[in-house]
């Protein structure tokens, strides 16, 4: 593309002020004239929309009008990069990549096959296990009822298509499990131990360029509130296994691990998008936002794995004022 002025669109912007700031800082380092657009279901109440250059109201991503609304923004503002930030918008955007390409926009998203796996936790567990990526023992409802002793009780349950910590439960024994659920569920061994998020960057050729683990010292509303980067070769090897298991993975992704003293590190979740804790990796030197802009503008890539170990993030509430 090779341009010094460009516009990007952050979808479902919500509270992603840190992500927008990372893109602004990256553009300044690259001497790019960057315009950041943001959209949300209620942009008037979105902090990220307040700090963006322009903000737009869009339907829910499950609404058939969602993609057409995003395309209208892309067309009107000559958007070069569309950045999803929540799981539920990944499938509709992945299915529309060619439509956005025809408008001159790249969607920051992996292949549709990867998104279909990542949005189905039962399938994720199956694909990873077959590839040798360590995951907890996992069953669907039918498998659980057929052999409840195959898991170690108590068991952990979550919706197979859930996100943002929705619908999580722990059942002490089989008698506690409801007879019926409102959506497909999976059941796993309950894991204990420190939890890590591992941010990873895969370039457009499919090469894994950077792996940044951070320990989740404190979590609020499903996102890391306090975290510290930590170099661990075993976690990097797991990231390499995930990249092999998902050859269509591109750009930024993150996955969660619980380092259980009985079972060892186990992957419990993958998000094929920017995670909420990405600003920590960015501050530690893993500037994924910059590497995406370099790809977009056909600049020499500076992607590397030379980030700083032991960087501590302590998040606090900050207000954005208007009027």
Distance of alpha carbon 295 from alpha carbon 235, whole angstroms: 26
Distance of alpha carbon 75 from alpha carbon 228, whole angstroms: 40
Largest pairwise CA distance in the chain:
62
pLDDT attached to residue 248: 98
| pLDDT for residue 167 is more than 80 | no
pLDDT attached to residue 159: 86
| pLDDT for residue 180 is more than 70 | yes
- Sheet of 155-159: strands edge to edge? 138-140, 185-189, 155-159, 169-171
| pLDDT for residue 44 is more than 60 | yes
Contacts of 211 (CB under 8 A, 6+ apart): 198, 199, 200, 235, 236, 239, 240, 305
pLDDT digits (tens, 9 = 90+) for 275-301: 999 999 999 999 999 999 999 999 999
Specify the pTM: 0.93
Distance of alpha carbon 239 from alpha carbon 223, whole angstroms: 20
| Whole-number Cα distances in Å, 144 to 98, 153, 177 | 40, 12, 10
| pLDDT for residue 90 is more than 70 | yes
Contacts of 248 (CB under 8 A, 6+ apart): 110, 111, 112, 113, 114
- The DSSP symbol for 137 reads -
pLDDT digits (tens, 9 = 90+) for 107-159: 999 999 999 999 999 899 999 999 999 999 998 888 888 888 888 888 888 88
E-only strand ranges, 164-280: 169-171, 185-189, 195-202, 208-220, 223-229, 251-260, 264-271
| pLDDT for residue 323 is more than 90 | no
3-state DSSP assignment of residue 186: strand
| pLDDT for residue 60 is more than 70 | yes
- Encoded tokens for 46: 């979105």
* Residues making up the chain, counted from first to last: 323
């Amino acid at each position: 593309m090779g341009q010094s002025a460009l516009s990007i669109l952050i979808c479902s912007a919500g509270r992603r002020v840190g992500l927008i700031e990372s893109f602004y800082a990256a553009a300044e380092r690259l001497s790019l004239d960057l315009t950041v657009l943001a959209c949300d279901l209620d942009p008037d109440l979105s902090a990220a929309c307040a700090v963006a250059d322009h903000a737009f109201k869009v339907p829910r991503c499950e609404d058939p009008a969602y993609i057409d609304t995003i395309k209208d923004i892309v067309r009107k503002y000559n958007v070069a990069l569309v950045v999803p930030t929540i799981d539920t918008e990944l499938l509709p955007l992945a299915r529309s990549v060619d439509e956005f390409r025809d408008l001159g926009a790249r969607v920051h998203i992996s292949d549709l096959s990867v998104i279909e796996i990542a949005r189905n936790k039962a399938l994720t567990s199956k694909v990873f296990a077959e590839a040798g990526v360590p995951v907890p023992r996992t069953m669907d409802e039918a498998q659980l009822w057929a052999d409840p002793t195959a898991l170690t009780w108590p068991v952990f349950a979550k919706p197979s298509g859930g996100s943002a910590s929705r619908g999580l439960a722990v059942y002490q024994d089989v008698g506690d499990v409801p007879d019926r659920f409102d959506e497909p569920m999976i059941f796993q061994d309950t894991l204990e131990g420190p939890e890590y998020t591992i941010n990873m960057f895969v370039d457009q050729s499919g090469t894994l360029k950077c792996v940044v683990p951070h320990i989740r010292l404190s979590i609020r509303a499903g996102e890391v509130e306090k975290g510290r980067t930590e170099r661990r070769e075993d976690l990097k090897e797991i990231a390499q296994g995930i990249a092999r298991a998902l050859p269509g993975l591109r750009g930024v992704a993150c996955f969660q691990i619980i380092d259980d003293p009985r079972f060892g590190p186990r992957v419990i979740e993958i998000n094929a998008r920017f995670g909420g804790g990405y600003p920590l990796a960015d501050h530690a030197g893993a500037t994924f936002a910059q590497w995406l802009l370099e790809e977009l503008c056909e600049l020499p890539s500076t992607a590397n794995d030379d980030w700083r170990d032991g960087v501590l993030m302590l998040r606090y509430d900050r207000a954005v004022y208007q009027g």
